[in-house]
């Protein structure tokens, strides 16, 4: 049983002092739902994480938010990048990243995309299957690879288990197979699951990967690279450890279990950019379905298909700010604007919102810099995708 360090809880953000981001979102004019990104806020988070990560290299998981302003700043800061597709690699190159700073971390790649990346100088690839190694050997001969290991027990709010990684026996086989194919197997990777709120929750995964690491070394593989993936949390209302403490906690656990590893990669996505973003939306309608209805319905101009995909299963619970905060509140079912009944954000656990809230009111959605703009559909129901503005 993992014991959580209850003392290491991030201080509740100071709501009394609005951030630059919040002030901008409250006062600027917007004609459609917009994600506003504060690039300086992202930079502060980068330094906080990097301080805790120490020797480990940050490879920003581009899929969390590929906005050019973020990528350009990260290039200036000396960050590296974890790209999932040729599109993301192109975005990193365009932002000024050199190919040696970009890893192709998706374990599911088309052969011609591997060839495309290889031609542009990408040398580090992820794999979790023999067929993937064969594609890499054919289209990026001699490339460096790391093998992604499956995470059996995730305590994350948004787990990434099952679809990615292979078990220990398969991983050992793939290290051998990579060698046989003329590739350079450098090490192992894993992902504890996104939004893993406390560093102590990493323990079971690190135990399992460390056991495999030892077995691989005993089998003659001189492993030099450990990729610890993402999972670094953002604040959505439930306590999380502060970023530096969290990253330092993870690294202490890594050092305890793995000893000296020449090269460690960390791939924060959410933990780096979520708190640097705020969505500006508005109330489209408030209603009750019957006179006896205990809940109000609040329909927003943004929903499941226009950026808030991670409300699926009510997994990620965003915090809402309005100009009426301070007025009496009641439980509300919050939904998006589209004509799709799946476009309900929070119903099982209704949200307390001001009873005075009505159509036209501005609603700010806190800490939405990750996994929002990229999940937004292009024109489902004729609603435009989430607009993005960097300040």
Ligand X SMILES: *Cc1c(COP(=O)(O)O)cnc(C)c1O
Which spans of this chain sit near ligand X (rule: CB under 6 A)?
61, 63-64, 82, 105, 191, 194, 229-232, 267-271
DSSP, residue by residue, 114-136: HHHHHHTT--EEEESSHHHHHHH
Tokens 């700043």 sit at which residue? 73
Q: How far apart are CA 55 and CA 335, in angstroms?
A: 44
Could you tell me which of 1, 35, 98, 16 has the C-alpha nearest to residue 275? Answer: 35
Q: How far apart are CA 79 and CA 370, in angstroms?
A: 17
Bridging pattern class, strands 34-37 and 387-390: parallel
Nearer to ligand X, 52 or 268 (CB): 268
Q: How far apart are CA 299 and CA 353, in angstroms?
A: 12
Give the length of the chain: 391
Nearer to ligand X, 237 or 384 (CB): 237
Give least dist CB 49 to ligand X, A: 10
Token reading at 110: 């088309």
Bridging pattern class, strands 277-287 and 34-37: antiparallel
Q: Which of 25, 332, 339, 379 is catalytic?
A: 339
To the query of whether residue 379 is one of the catalytic residues in this protein, the response is: no
Residue nearest to ligand X (CB): 230
Q: How far apart are CA 126 and CA 136, in angstroms?
A: 9
| DSSP-based helix, strand, coil % in the chain, nearest 5 | 35, 25, 45
Nearer to ligand X, 38 or 267 (CB): 267
Nearer to ligand X, 185 or 230 (CB): 230
Give least dist CB 274 to ligand X, A: 8
* Nearest-10 Cα torsion for 124, 125, 131, 133: 20
Contact (CB, 8 A) for 150 and 165: yes
Nearer to ligand X, 35 or 363 (CB): 35
Could you tell me which of 198, 209, 199 has the C-alpha nearest to residue 152? Answer: 209
Give all strands (DSSP E) within 158-276, no chain letters.
184-189, 225-227, 263-266
Nearer to ligand X, 105 or 337 (CB): 105
Give least dist CB 233 to ligand X, A: 8
3-state SS class at 94: helix
Token reading at 141: 């001969």
Token reading at 101: 């700073």
Nearer to ligand X, 174 or 363 (CB): 174
| Catalytic residue numbers, as ranges | 339
């Amino acid at each position: 049983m993992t014991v959580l360090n209850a003392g290491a809880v991030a201080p509740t953000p100071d709501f009394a002092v609005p951030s630059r981001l919040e002030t901008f979102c409250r006062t600027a004019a917007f004609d459609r739902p917009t994600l506003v990104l504060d690039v300086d806020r992202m930079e502060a988070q980068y330094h906080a994480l990097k301080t805790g990560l120490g020797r480990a290299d940050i490879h920003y998981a581009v899929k969390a938010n590929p906005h050019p302003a973020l990528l350009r700043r990260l290039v200036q800061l000396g960050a590296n990048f974890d790209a999932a597709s040729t599109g993301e690699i192109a975005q990193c190159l365009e932002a000024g990243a050199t190919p040696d700073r970009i890893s192709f971390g998706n374990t599911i790649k088309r052969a011609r995309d591997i060839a495309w990346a290889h031609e542009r100088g990408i040398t580090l690839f992820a794999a979790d299957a023999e067929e993937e190694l064969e594609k890499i050997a054919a289209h990026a001969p001699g490339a460096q690879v790391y093998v992604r290991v499956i995470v059996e027990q995730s305590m994350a709010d948004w787990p990434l288990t099952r679809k990615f990684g292979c078990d220990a026996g398969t991983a050992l086989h793939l290290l051998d197979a990579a060698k046989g194919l003329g590739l350079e197997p450098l090490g192992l990777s894993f992902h504890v699951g996104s939004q893993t709120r406390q560093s102590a929750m990493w323990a079971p995964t690190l135990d399992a990967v460390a056991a495999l690491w030892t077995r691989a070394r005993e089998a003659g593989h001189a492993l030099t690279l450990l990729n610890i993936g993402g999972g670094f949390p953002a604040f959505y209302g439930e306590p999380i450890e502060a970023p530096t403490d969290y990253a330092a906690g993870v690294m202490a656990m890594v050092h305890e279990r793995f000893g000296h590893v020449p090269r460690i990669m960390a791939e924060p996505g959410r933990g780096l950019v979520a708190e640097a973003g705020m969505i500006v939306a508005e109330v489209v309608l408030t209603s009750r379905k019957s006179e006896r209805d205990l809940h109000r319905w609040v329909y927003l101009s943004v929903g499941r298909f226009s950026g808030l995909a991670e409300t699926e299963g009510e997994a990620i619970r965003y915090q809402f700010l309005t100009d009426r905060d301070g007025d009496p509140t009641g439980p509300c079912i919050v939904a998006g604007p589209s004509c799709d009944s799946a476009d309900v954000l929070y119903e099982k656990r209704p949200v307390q919102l001001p009873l005075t809230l009505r159509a036209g009111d501005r609603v700010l959605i806190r800490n939405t810099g990750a996994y929002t703009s990229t999940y937004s559909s292009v024109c489902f129901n004729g609603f435009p995708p989430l607009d993005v503005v960097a300040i």
